[in-house]
Structure 1
Amino acid sequence: MNYIGKILPVDGYMVDLHGNLPVDYSKSLTHLYLPLIGIKAVMLYQTLLHEMEFKEIAPIQTHHTIMNYLNISLVDIYEARLRLEGIGLLKTFENKTPEQTVYYYVLQSPFSPNDFFKDAMLSQLLFHHVGQDKYSMLKSHYVGHFEQPSGQNVTASFHEVFDTIIPDANAYHKVERIPENQGPHIDSIDFSWMEHMLKSRMIPYRRVLTTENKRIITQMMHLYGLAEYEVEKCVLWALTDENYLDIDEFKEACHDTFKNARKEASVQLVTREAEPAPTNRQQPITKEEQFILELERISPKQLLEDLSSGNHASEQDLKVIREIMTTQGLPSPVMNVLIHYVLLQTNMKLSKAYLETIASHWSRANLKTAKEAMEFAKREKERYRQSIEKKQNQRTYRKQSSKEVVPDWFKERKQKTTTIQTDTISEVELQEMESILNKYSSGGKNSHLQG
């Protein structure tokens, strides 16, 4: 991992703490966070935390100070900082001036041991890192088991005891919530695809897709790298008879889905590989490359809407696409190429039978990206064209042998005509790609995944 030059020993830093530390925060760092982020990251957090005592005397210090304290290299310090940021224990702000670069490190309060196990992603990661026996021991020790007292609950509610001048319109719910600013920061996703799936099955989607459930679904989706159709199966599996989402059942279903689909993979926190150094060719140079990039980013729903000049995609088309993606296991980028290919071949009509035939073929080919799917479609189309030409040539040869000899100038003319027809088809497809790209560049559409 090449982190050389990311920060310099002379770069300054300031430290602050957001919120209040739990009483038993050190237990969380030692027994719960340490297996996930490593000893260097925990040491850096504690060092920065205690550096706050000196901010009145020396508000800005250099990174050379941390190097002396921890006796590790600046590369190790930078990697430890990234781990703290990724796990949700640190936020970093950079302030560059002509004289000096200063980093403002805002420490985030770690979870208490009890709240740590309420976070679906962190608790599941800990399970994979320390194993079932150690995990069960830690959870039993820090969370324990609350014995529900016998008898009838006669506790008075808020409204039975108090009155307010202006009634609050918000309903009061007894929900164990964790503050939103704690824990790893995960990019949110659009749940419209799941809402549509639940409504089509007559399931009250608001009961399933609560704010807390959305957070857990998002975490599990990122943790196990699950596709949308895999998450749908896990949600349906974990629904109770009253159509509530059983969180433990859902996490177990996600874990089983991951194991079955990726038998040799394991869930471990590893530092992401650094992106390759930028070259002179930073942007795609052809229309086709730009088109492939868009097909990788958008959802099948948005592609259908863009192809229909912004009109809403019909529920029937979305149902067909969802069923094919679910049964054949096609990723969204591959499905986008399939939709575009079928529409081009069928005069902009989405034929279910045609989609299913090609989807089963592409599924067996194990296509994963839009580029792979487009290249595969081109090869298949070229193979089909050559097969047709071969049959035509065979028929022509038999016909010529039985009747008359065809002059060479006529053969050359026929070959030119065939070439012109082939080029015309390619030009139509190129114009179709360019029209879609123009919509993305001028329409400013949202490129987030939708279901």
Structure 2
Amino acid sequence: MEYAYEANLQPKAIYEVKKSLPLTRDAEKSLVNLYQPIIGADALALYFCLLQDFEDTQENYTHLELLNALDMGLSALKAAKKRLEGIGLLKTYYREQPEVRFLYVLMEPLAPQDFLADELMSFLLVVKVGQNKFRQLNRRFKPESVNTAGYQDVTTKFGSVYSFSQNEYQANQPVIEAAVKKAPQNVAQLPLAENQLNWTLLRDLATKKFINPTQITDTLKDSLTLYHEMFGYDELQLTNLMAEAVSLTDGTIDVRKLKNVVYKQSQDLLPEKKAVVLNYDSDTQLRRKNTLLAQGFTEADWYRILDSEALAPMEYLVKLKAAKGGYVTKNEEWLLTDLVQKSPLPTSVINILLNYLLVTQNKAQLPQALTNQIANDWSQNKINTPEAAIKYVQTTVKEKQVAKEQRQKNGGRVQNIVKKEDVPDWSKNQSTSDPSRKAEIDKMMREYFNDEEGEK
């Protein structure tokens, strides 16, 4: 969703840029070689443009100056800003009084060695660039070991040169500790919401799999949260993944092996069907169904909404492509991973977007530019529920049809109509796809859920 403050992010709005320390050479290498494949060229250009603003003596800028410097539209700027924020390279602050003002705080990127040693960052990179390119980057930034064979270490020791008294150390210790505590955290970190998972349940499940619960550290929790967000793995599935990377002797988890297991599973397009419970006939669901039908939704829309809420996007895509007799391509997997990471759309709305392109529009595969165009349009129009997405499509199609009829009445002349932004041309009549094929795919999706309920 688009937050209320973003409505005030307009060309005339003022902003200022801060950064605690100058950008180091190693951090610049990380931005260009490691971060850029994940965040994209627009976000990288935005980072460097903001960095230039920070280094200039002028303090206040308008977003119009930023748009002109980047040669991009406001929507593209907002999308690039969110990519930087999502990966921890930018913090955004906002105030309305005495004037609308934004404060952008640039964070220092991880150095190449730290980036590749970070389990989450390296996972994002390998999913984006593939294993071969990832290995090349590892070799490029691998620290060079120094061969000291045949030499004797004659380095002078610290204690032989520097000394201090214990009394002086104790007398200054409070000042030193206070300074250390006040040291700012300026290095980029992924802002993940760990409360999405039930950690008590996960620890209980891990114990039953002979996994030492103390292994579920904050770092590992960040990794598991990322896997949950990207692929929809629940607590049971995450436990099963950890079980493949645990040592049976001491219950420790090999985080690198876990990452490889998750990566392999993602390439195989999900290891098992997700256990979901869909009670279509519960009182709550029936009331909701009747309300939607009264609002003009069809029975097919109702089942499509329920299906979209039950599956993670990657699994939903797998089922859609399988129902059409196809398969998920590598480009589609990267596109969807990128969409889930960077788009503010809920996963159920992303699923409706997939359904619209592959079923209603009958596309053989997801077109990258069109998919991102629609996702941006829906984000900016605050489409937060699957029913809102379906209704938005219907409304847009109707508006286009009215506009077409109006042009025909005007003898084909195009009137000058002022509007904020063109609506992407992704809405067409559903007659462009085979209705019987569409119904068949919807039926197969419903049978998938029914089979799952029978397996429990």
Map of 1:92 onto structure 2 = 92
- CA shift in 2, pair 1:184/1:19, >3 Å: farther
Q: What residue identity is the alignment partner of 1:71?
A: D
Map of 1:365 onto structure 2 = 450
Map of 2:49 onto structure 1 = 47
Backbone CA RMSD of aligned residues:
4.0
Map of 2:333 onto structure 1 = 266
Map of 1:231 onto structure 2 = 238
Q: What residue identity is the alignment partner of 2:79?
A: E
- CA shift in 2, pair 1:214/1:32, >3 Å: same
1:249 to 251, 254, 257: 257
- CA shift in 2, pair 1:145/1:242, >3 Å: farther
1:186 aligns with 2:255: no
Map of 1:101 onto structure 2 = 100
- CA shift in 2, pair 1:46/1:215, >3 Å: same
Name structure 2 gaps, 5 residues minimum.
150-156, 174-184, 271-314, 319-327, 344-374, 386-445
Q: How does 1:252-401 map to 2 (within 5 A)?
A: 252-258=260-266, 259-261=268-270, 262=315, 264=328, 266-267=333-334, 268-270=337-339, 271-272=342-343, 273=375, 274-275=378-379, 277=381, 365=450
Asked if structure 1 preserves the Cα contact closer than 8 Å seen for 2:209 and 2:243, the reply is: no
Deviation per CA, 1:49-83: give whole Å up to 9, x if none: 1111234xx32211111122122222221211111
Q: What residue identity is the alignment partner of 1:205?
A: P
Q: How does 1:191-206 map to 2 (within 5 A)?
A: 191-201=199-209, 203-206=211-214
Map of 2:59 onto structure 1 = 59
Name structure 1 gaps, 5 residues minimum.
151-155, 168-178, 282-360, 368-372, 377-451
| Structure label with greater radius of gyration | 1
Q: What residue identity is the alignment partner of 1:182?
A: A
Give distance in 2, aligned partners of 1:194 and 1:2. Answer: 32
Q: Secondary structure at the match of 1:104?
A: strand
1:79 aligns with 2:79: yes
Q: How many residues align?
A: 270
Give distance in 1, aligned partners of 2:380 and 2:22. Answer: 39
Moved more, 179-188 or 125-134: 179-188
- CA shift in 2, pair 1:203/1:10, >3 Å: closer
Q: What residue identity is the alignment partner of 1:124?
A: F
Give distance in 2, aligned partners of 1:362 and 1:253. Answer: 30
Identity %: 24
Q: Secondary structure at the match of 2:106?
A: strand
Give distance in 1, aligned partners of 2:53 and 2:12. Answer: 17
Deviation per CA, 1:207-266: give whole Å up to 9, x if none: x21232222222333233312111010111110132110112111222233324245262
Q: Secondary structure at the match of 1:269?
A: helix
Asked if structure 2 preserves the Cα contact closer than 8 Å seen for 1:13 and 1:61, the reply is: yes
- CA shift in 2, pair 1:45/1:223, >3 Å: same
Deviation at 1:112, TM superposition (A): 0.9
Q: Secondary structure at the match of 1:365?
A: helix
Q: What residue identity is the alignment partner of 1:108?
A: M
Moved more, 46-55 or 140-149: 140-149
- TM-score (ref. length: structure 1): 0.52
Deviation per CA, 1:278-327: give whole Å up to 9, x if none: 79x9xxxxxxxxxxxxxxxxxxxxxxxxxxxxxxxxxxxxxxxxxxxxxx
Deviation per CA, 1:8-34: give whole Å up to 9, x if none: 111000100145533312211111111
1:9 to 8, 11, 15: 11
Map of 1:116 onto structure 2 = 115
Q: What residue identity is the alignment partner of 1:266?
A: E
- CA shift in 2, pair 1:67/1:46, >3 Å: same
Q: What residue identity is the alignment partner of 1:123?
A: S
Deviation at 1:199, TM superposition (A): 3.3
